[in-house]
Amino acid sequence: MGDPLAFLTIPRRENGERQAAERVNDWGEYVVPLADEALRKQAARCMDCATPYCQIGAEWNGATSGCPLYNLIPEWNELVRRGHWREAYERLIKTNNFPEFTSRACPAPCEGSCTAALPAAPVAIKSIERAIIDRAFAEGWVTAIRPARRNGFKVAVVGSGPAGLACADELNQMGYCVTVFERADRPGGLLMYGIPNMKLEKSVVERRIQLLAEEGIAFVTGTEVGRDLAFREVRKRFDAVVLCIGSGKTRDLAIEGRDLQGVHQAMDYLTASTKALLSGQPPAIDARGKRVIVIGGGDTGADCVAVALRQKCQSVIQFSRRGRLPDQRPSDNPWPEAPKVFKLDYGYEEAVATFGCDPRTYNVLPVRFVGKNDRVTGLVTVDVAFDDRGRLRELPGTERTWPADLVLLAVGFSGVEDHLFAHTGVAKSPQGTIAASRKTYQTDIPGVFAAGDARRGASLIVWAMREGRDAAAAVDRYLQEKKD
């Protein structure tokens, strides 16, 4: 390392952003990367601490601390500081199959547990990671690598999100003949249709899919295993099957008026938006000129706000039953836990620039939808509070009606879609996910594995990729033992 006190003497800088008032008029990525010299200075802030918590990949109090991929962060930080970009890229891809995805779509739990964050501010790890992989593509270092030989085994990967792609990539490089089945019209899963273009441009996803295809992975789209293609037929044709179908069962609001037109699941809205962008056709669900309400305070809800702004909504507001997070870490959220603090993410910055205020309203509970001629016209809410035991209680006399033409439900996921269990026969966990061992990733059906959100529940992109990598190693052990 260079100056051991650089984390104190050099201020933290992240990638910049295009002006919020301007970027809402297009669908391009909103991030503006730092220049090389600035990135080298940011990399110099890395302490190269004896125990790099940035790469521990643990879960504490329900949140992720450090990188689940165990990225060798201090090592590639030091290489960037020295200007050794090619070597930094080679260290990065030892643990991360697709840095171009994680450096754009991951919330960076590595930074939350960075040791430099104790006395100062964390290292700008995410910005540095993106710079490494973007430079690697620009310099032509990222090329298709086909395995030297095939081992004769065939593996089917069902689902082409981050878990499925990571699993397929690992198995392919081991010499397996891999076929990825995807029910959508394009590969990519959540990466293609669940993350808006301004966070992850679809050309970035398509570029990686093309590389994987050149390396020998076969992609079959528009085919849902269990419906379009019988699961027993897949098991018959392949030596092993890995289910990486995500946690697609969305939670709903069982309140009066839910069946009114204009009330949609958030993921349906985001998918329709991306499909329209790729096809050049009008979106199936459009916020143009409408009063939009987003229910749910997470990242999906924030993405809905950003998309609605680009579709030129009349107004947008987002409700959360939880309170506003504090500006600083509370005493019960110590380092290296993921910091639970208030942030003004990209979509909210854009709302402020467009309408003059943050769209979030806290401690609000939906009570019922109201409508006219079978279409939603408003949402009735009540203010709530939590007592010392964390129990929710409604506050009398706080009922309000909010006008709305489009309501988007972003209240989370509750496991795998139910029809999967009927089609495949795999066991279901109490959480609604596929029951599979954390050690072997194998289900109760021999030769059938599960990974990613389908096994662990809705989580981060880095966990999905970690599970895909681990599942690939488990499949390899299983088939090699079977061969012996």
> Does position 61 have pLDDT exceeding 70, yes or no?
yes
CA angle 217, 200, 351 (to 5 degrees): 160
Query: What CATH number is given for 154-248+414-483 in this structure?
Result: 3.50.50.60
Which of the 8 DSSP states describes residue 413? B
* 331: Cβ contacts below 8 Å, ≥ 6 apart: none
**Tokens 């290292």, located at residue:** 123
Residues carrying CATH 1.10.1060.10, the chain: 6-139
User: Distance (Å, rounded) from C-alpha 313 to C-alpha 300?
Assistant: 18
Q: What is the pLDDT of residue 1?
A: 61
Could you give the CA distance from residue 164 to residue 467 in angstroms, rounded to a whole number?
A: 9
CA distance 92 to 129: 8
Q: Three-state DSSP class for 382?
A: strand
Summarize the confidence of residues 323-342 as an average pLDDT.
Answer: 92
Q: Let me know how long the chain is.
A: 484
Say if residue 336 is preceded by a cis peptide, omega within 30 of 0: yes
Residue 124 clears pLDDT 70, i.e. is over it: yes
Residue 315 phi/psi, 5° resolution?
-160, 160
pLDDT, tens digit (0-9, with 9 covering 90-100), for 86-109: 999 999 999 999 999 999 999 999
Average pLDDT over residues 400-426: 95
Centroid of chain to Cα 342: 20
| Residue 340 near residue 325 (C-beta atoms within 8 A) | yes
Cβ atoms within 10 Å, residue 66? 26
Residue 59 β-bridge partners: 64
Tell me which amino acid residue 397 is: G
Per-residue pLDDT tens digits for 178-218: 999 999 999 999 999 999 999 999 999 999 999 999 999 99
DSSP assignment letter at 396: T
Q: What is the pLDDT averaged over residues 415-426? A: 93
Q: Where in the chain is the domain with CATH 3.50.50.60?
A: 154-248+414-483, 263-409
CATH architecture of the domain with residue range 263-409 = 3-Layer(bba) Sandwich (3.50)
Whether the Cβ atoms of residue 162 and residue 191 lie closer than 8 Å to each other:
yes
Span 256-261, mean pLDDT? Answer: 97
Long-range (24+ apart) CB contacts under 8 A made by 147-154 are: 147/172, 147/173, 147/174, 147/175, 147/215, 147/216, 148/175, 149/175, 150/175, 150/176, 150/177, 151/175, 151/176, 153/177, 153/239, 153/240, 153/479, 153/483, 154/178, 154/179, 154/237, 154/238, 154/239
Confidence of residue 388 (pLDDT cuts 50, 70, 90): confident
Q: Edge-to-edge, what's the strand order for the sheet holding 406-409? A: 263-265, 406-409, 291-295, 315-319, 360-361
Task: Determine the average pLDDT of the residues in 441-462.
Answer: 97
Q: Right CATH number for 6-139 from 1.20.1260.10, 3.40.140.10, 3.30.70.20, 1.10.1060.10? A: 1.10.1060.10
Cβ count within 10 A of residue 330: 11
Q: Residue 48 has what pLDDT?
A: 85
**Cβ atoms 158, 225 nearer than 8 A:** yes
Asked if residues 303 and 199 have their Cβ atoms less than 8 Å apart, the reply is yes
Q: What is the pTM of this model?
A: 0.96
337-355 tens-digit pLDDT:
889 999 999 999 999 999 9
C-alpha to C-alpha distance for 39 and 249, rounded to whole angstroms: 41
Distance, in Å, from the CA atom of 190 to the CA atom of 188, rounded to the nearest integer, reads 6
Please say if the pLDDT value at position 484 is more than 90.
no
Residue 338: predicted pLDDT: 87
Strands 364-372 and 375-386: antiparallel
